[in-house]
């Protein structure tokens, strides 16, 4: 019952730095503001006006690194962001800063973060992504000032439902705009749609359920199939 060992700190009045103020970064800024935090944002792809609309004060990277109590990453990994937070960046941060990386592994140099944690320059880190997945070096993950999760930032029941709905909606739009010529999969047994005769192998066609097939645009699908493999028409008998 060591209550003193678990003394925390309040978020109200602290400064959160959001690196990347896109959709996710904007949602983080919104929630942080609701907790009484001041939010700074650095994103070269977002205009200062748009960053302000999303509840953050736009600033340069150096100001964000040096002034923030908490830094949350919401960036893609590319040639500009790989190794962005390294030993030099940690040295310029406010002593006792907290770092959260739920974006992409490789943006943070893990060896440098571990060293900053050992010296106390970084007070703690929350990590969901890693340079190598699964990790091969567990020293950072096992550090007492680190909370680590195995790249499951979106692994909630609700998020999976949203993703499924997004896939369904995009698939419907795609099918309506570009009816498929055929469905192919070597792992699923198949049968040729009724009324379609062609030199395409029957295993090319997949019908998972009658409900699925009935909702496809049959006429457009058959036209597409015929363009790829015209039907063999029996020649009419000649009159003698």
| Catalytic center residues | 104, 133, 151
- Distance of alpha carbon 221 from alpha carbon 196, whole angstroms: 10
**CA 205, CA 192: separation in Å to the nearest integer?**
6
Tokens read off for 33: 């503001």
What is the Cα–Cα distance from 99 to 15, expressed in whole angstroms?
12
Sheet holding 97-101, edge to edge: 57-58, 38-42, 15-19, 70-73, 97-101, 122-127, 146-148
Q: Please state, in angstroms and rounded to a whole number, the distance separating the CA atoms of residues 64 and 177.
A: 45
The Cα 172–Cα 217 span in angstroms is 11
């Amino acid at each position: 019952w060591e209550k003193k060992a678990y003394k925390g700190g309040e978020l109200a009045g602290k400064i959160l730095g959001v690196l990347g103020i896109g959709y996710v970064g904007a949602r983080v800024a919104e929630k942080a503001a609701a907790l009484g935090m001041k939010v700074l944002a650095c994103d070269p792809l977002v205009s200062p006006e748009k960053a302000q609309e999303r509840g953050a004060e736009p600033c340069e990277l150096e100001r964000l690194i040096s002034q923030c109590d908490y830094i949350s990453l919401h960036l893609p990994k590319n040639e500009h962001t790989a190794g962005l937070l390294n030993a030099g960046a940690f040295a310029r941060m406010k002593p006792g800063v907290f770092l959260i990386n739920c974006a992409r592994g490789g943006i943070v140099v893990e060896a440098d973060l571990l060293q900053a944690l050992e010296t106390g320059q970084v007070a703690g880190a929350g990590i969901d992504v890693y340079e190598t997945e699964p990790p091969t070096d567990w020293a950072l993950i096992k550090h007492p000032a680190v909370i680590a999760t195995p790249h499951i930032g979106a692994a909630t029941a609700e998020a999976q439902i949203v993703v499924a709905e997004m896939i369904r909606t995009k698939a419907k739009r795609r099918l309506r705009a570009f009816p498929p010529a055929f469905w192919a999969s070597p792992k699923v047994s198949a049968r040729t749609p009724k009324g379609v005769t062609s030199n395409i192998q029957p295993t090319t066609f997949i019908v998972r359920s009658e409900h699925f097939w009935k909702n496809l645009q049959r006429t457009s699908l058959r036209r597409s199939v015929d363009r790829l493999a015209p039907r063999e028409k029996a020649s009419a008998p000649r009159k003698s």
